């Protein structure tokens, strides 16, 4: 095949050189990589903040930090992980890079808006940093900013909230860009049922981003207004109702957890069929379930508020709706498992991570039902059980999907392959550490240990120690994983255009792709997961 210049060698717009070729670029691939490095910075920072929190909790009493710092740290960990890592990670990095390629386009619909979103993201992050060191220190409210505490606390809530506002805008504009791109830029011949599942999941996510983000924006604006003008919209003394804040907040923030998980599910839906060499089981089922999760997930927000003093009718209705979300989620899990059944499975690091995702996410989903049922929720509400459930879905789910996506698309993004053995060890170590870390928390929660507490009673000592121990294992595994990926830049083992035998369009272009993604107009398959060609090629090679 003739040599094509990769996008690294062709700046867009043309004529830009050096750092400008990155900071002013309109190329979705360069922007994706710029997101990658910034997101990784925040991820590593928040990992170590989380580890510090758990180290503090390993032993009774003050271990390494005073209670005020502890409060700020868990807020900081939450704000960074939610707004700067989990929400943007998969859409902004892999979505930006692969959504246009998967639908045969040469860029997103609004390239300049895409660059603007990146700047909003960076500015949002910087605002969060500034809020750390100005005023009376970082917010100590937790990432939910509940009133009345968020209005009365002395700490720098206003700036932290502003950061979240800017980040929300960035994520919404990315969603707007993706929806328009999917509608208007699909290559000729690609109908809705030929779109790869990763792109489908991003499409569903984008709608939730557009639908829900403005609600949290206005809620956060109201928090700032209350702090400066004391209007009293949430203040019972002035006729306001604090419960309304929770409604408005969760009206966004619950759909937001589907913003976080749907792209991860899309990644898994790509990886499983490729390494099973078998068409995905129930393509349409997965598409429909993505949209169903997006819709039903927008109607369940008040299940965070069973103990806040809602009417019994609301509790009943929201509990029922919550259970309904489990159905499309289960459709996906069963589809993945059925895809592997009787497939010819090729074990690779991305597949291992995808399998870990399925296991950990299932535990997260099932513990979610414990919380969705009003009766059991009242027992474990605001305990460590919730923390463990949340991390099983967000870290065991989205986090592992993110790592799987990193390992799956790494050769395509950089044209190089990493060391498999270290990747396996890193993944397993992370997963084992994960279990040690969060299973004790599930038990602690059932025993009644509240979350966000600086200290605890002696009977919780063993569990907290074990969780801390697991935390160290997990961080060691993660660091091994990242260092392994990083060292692939030094070894520079060339990766082929299609190292895995994938069928979607990104595997039909050179690694790394050229500026306009495609050398020739791509040929769209009738069905995106048809592996007959890959299998016959493999049979030929075997001779």
Partner 1 sequence: MEKTIDKTGVRIGMWIFLYSEIILFGGLFVLYAVYFHAFPDDFASGGKELNRIFGTANTLVLLFSSFTVAASITAIQRSKKIQSMTLLVISILCGLIFLINKYFEWGAKFEHGLYPNSEHLLEADPGFIIFFGLYYTITGLHGLHVIIGMTLLAISLVLVMRNRVSAERYAMLENSGLYWHLVDLIWIFVFPLFYLVL
Q: Measure the CA–CA gap between 85 and 478, rounded to whole angstroms.
A: 15
212 alpha-carbon distance from chain centroid: 16
Task: Pick the binder of partner 1 from 238, 421, 492, 537 (CB under 8 A).
Answer: 238
Structure tokens belonging to residue 110: 């609004």
The minimum distance between CB 238 and partner 1, in angstroms, equals 5
299 contacts partner 1 (rule: CB under 8 A): no
* Options 70-78, 126-134, 214-222, 426-434: segment touching partner 1 (CB under 8 A): 214-222
The minimum distance between CB 161 and partner 1, in angstroms, equals 15
244 contacts partner 1 (rule: CB under 8 A): yes
Distances (CA, A) of 309 to 86, 246, 464: 30, 11, 31
223 contacts partner 1 (rule: CB under 8 A): no
The minimum distance between CB 345 and partner 1, in angstroms, equals 41
516 contacts partner 1 (rule: CB under 8 A): yes
The minimum distance between CB 183 and partner 1, in angstroms, equals 6
295 contacts partner 1 (rule: CB under 8 A): no
217 contacts partner 1 (rule: CB under 8 A): yes
- Encoded one letter per residue, x for contact with partner 1 by CB under 8 A and - for no contact, window 87-126 reads -------------------x--xx--x-------------
233 contacts partner 1 (rule: CB under 8 A): yes
5 contacts partner 1 (rule: CB under 8 A): no
Least Cα distance to 264 among 40, 89, 434, 414 occurs for 89
Q: Measure the CA–CA gap between 154 and 176, rounded to whole angstroms.
A: 36
172 contacts partner 1 (rule: CB under 8 A): yes
Residue appearing with tokens 């503090």: 56
Task: Pick the binder of partner 1 from 45, 132, 185, 443 (CB under 8 A).
Answer: 185
Contact assessment for residue 25 and residue 31, using Cβ atoms and an 8 Å cutoff? yes
* Options 63-71, 123-131, 180-188, 416-424: segment touching partner 1 (CB under 8 A): 180-188
Instruction: Work out the burial of residue 228: count CB atoms within 10 Å of its CB; fewer than 13 is exposed, 13-18 middle, 19 or more buried.
Output: exposed
Task: Pick the binder of partner 1 from 4, 176, 476, 525 (CB under 8 A).
Answer: 176
Closer residue to partner 1, CB minimum distance, 252 or 531:
252
The minimum distance between CB 400 and partner 1, in angstroms, equals 31
Q: HSE (CB half, 13 Å, CA atoms) of 321?
A: 20
- Encoded one letter per residue, x for contact with partner 1 by CB under 8 A and - for no contact, window 246-285 reads -xx--x----------------------------------
229 contacts partner 1 (rule: CB under 8 A): yes
**DSSP code string of 403-423:** HHHHHHHHHHHHSEE--HHHH
* Options 114-122, 212-220, 292-300, 329-337: segment touching partner 1 (CB under 8 A): 212-220
Least Cα distance to 293 among 398, 394, 376, 203 occurs for 203
Closer residue to partner 1, CB minimum distance, 109 or 414:
109
Instruction: Kindly state the helix (H) or strand (E) to which residue 161 belongs, with its residue range.
Output: helix 157-184
Task: Pick the binder of partner 1 from 150, 213, 298, 329 (CB under 8 A).
Answer: 213
The minimum distance between CB 10 and partner 1, in angstroms, equals 12
Task: Pick the binder of partner 1 from 135, 137, 142, 240 (CB under 8 A).
Answer: 240
* Options 177-185, 301-309, 369-377, 489-497: segment touching partner 1 (CB under 8 A): 177-185
465 alpha-carbon distance from chain centroid: 28
Least Cα distance to 127 among 83, 65, 171, 86 occurs for 83
Instruction: Work out the burial of residue 24: count CB atoms within 10 Å of its CB; fewer than 13 is exposed, 13-18 middle, 19 or more buried.
Output: middle
Query: Is there a cis peptide before residue 512, judged by omega within 30 degrees of 0?
Result: yes
The sign one gets for the Cα dihedral 355, 357, 362, 367 is: positive
Closer residue to partner 1, CB minimum distance, 46 or 212:
212
Closer residue to partner 1, CB minimum distance, 108 or 267:
108
Task: Pick the binder of partner 1 from 23, 64, 221, 320 (CB under 8 A).
Answer: 221
386 contacts partner 1 (rule: CB under 8 A): no
CB atoms inside a 10 Å sphere around CB 107: 21
Instruction: Work out the burial of residue 311: count CB atoms within 10 Å of its CB; fewer than 13 is exposed, 13-18 middle, 19 or more buried.
Output: exposed
The minimum distance between CB 146 and partner 1, in angstroms, equals 17
User: Virtual CA dihedral for 199, 205, 207, 208, nearest 10 degrees?
Assistant: 170
Task: Tell me which residues touch partner 1 (CB under 8 A).
Answer: 106, 109-110, 113, 172, 176-177, 179-180, 183-185, 210-211, 213-215, 217-219, 221-222, 225, 229-233, 237-241, 244, 247-248, 251, 516
């Amino acid at each position: 095949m003739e040599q094509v210049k990769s996008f690294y060698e062709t700046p867009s717009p043309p004529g830009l050189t050096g750092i400008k070729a990155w900071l002013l670029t309109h190329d979705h691939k360069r922007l994706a990589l710029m997101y990658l490095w910034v997101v990784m910075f925040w991820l590593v920072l928040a990992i170590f903040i989380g580890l510090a929190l758990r180290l503090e909790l390993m032993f009774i009493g003050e271990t390494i930090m005073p209670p005020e710092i502890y409060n700020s740290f868990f807020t900081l960990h939450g704000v960074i992980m939610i707004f700067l890592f989990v929400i943007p990670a998969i859409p902004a990095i892999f979505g930006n890079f692969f959504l246009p390629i998967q639908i045969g386009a040469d860029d997103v619909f609004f390239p300049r808006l895409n660059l603007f979103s990146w700047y909003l993201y960076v500015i949002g992050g910087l605002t969060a940093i500034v809020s750390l060191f100005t005023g009376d220190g970082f917010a100590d409210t937790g990432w939910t900013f509940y009133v009345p505490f968020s209005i009365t606390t002395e700490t720098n809530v206003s700036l932290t909230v502003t950061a979240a506002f800017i980040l929300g805008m960035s994520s919404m504009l990315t969603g707007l860009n993706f929806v328009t791109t999917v509608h208007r830029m699909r290559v000729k011949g690609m109908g809705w049922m030929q779109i790869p599942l990763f792109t489908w999941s991003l499409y569903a996510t984008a709608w939730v981003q557009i639908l829900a983000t403005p609600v949290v924006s206005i809620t956060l604006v109201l928090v700032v207004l209350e702090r400066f003008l004391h209007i009293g919209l949430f203040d019972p003394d002035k006729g306001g109702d604090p419960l309304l804040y929770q409604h408005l907040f969760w009206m966004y923030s619950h759909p937001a957890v589907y913003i976080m998980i749907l792209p991860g599910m899309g990644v898994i839906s790509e990886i499983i069929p490729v390494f099973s060499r078998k068409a995905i089981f129930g393509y349409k089922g997965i598409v429909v379930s993505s949209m169903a999760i997006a819709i039903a997930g927008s109607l369940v927000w008040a299940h965070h508020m069973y103990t806040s003093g809602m009417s019994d009718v609301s509790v009943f209705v929201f509990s029922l709706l919550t259970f309904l979300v489990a159905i499309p989620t289960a459709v996906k899990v069963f589809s993945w498992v059925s895809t592997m059944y009787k497939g010819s499975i090729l074990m690779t690091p991305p597949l291992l991570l995808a399998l870990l995702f399925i296991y950990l996410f299932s535990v997260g989903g099932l513990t979610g039902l414990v919380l969705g049922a009003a009766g059991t929720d009242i027992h474990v509400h605001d305990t460590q059980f919730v923390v463990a459930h949340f991390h099983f879905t967000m870290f065991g789910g989205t986090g592992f999907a993110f790592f799987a996506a990193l390992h799956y698309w790494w050769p395509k993004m950089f044209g190089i392959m990493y060391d498999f053995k270290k990747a396996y060890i890193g993944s397993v170590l992370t997963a084992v550490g994960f279990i040690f870390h969060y299973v004790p928390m599930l038990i602690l929660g059932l025993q009644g240990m509240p979350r966000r507490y600086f200290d605890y009673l002696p009977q919780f000592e063993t569990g907290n120690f074990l969780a801390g121990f697991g935390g160290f294992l997990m961080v060691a595994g993660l660091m091994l994983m990242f260092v392994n990926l990083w060292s692939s830049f030094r070894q520079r083992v060339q990766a082929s255009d299609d190292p895995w035998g994938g069928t979607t369009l990104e595997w039909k272009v050179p690694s790394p792709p050229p500026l306009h993604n495609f050398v020739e107009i791509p040929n769209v398959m009738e069905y995106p997961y048809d592996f007959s060609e890959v299998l016959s090629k493999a049979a030929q090679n075997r001779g």
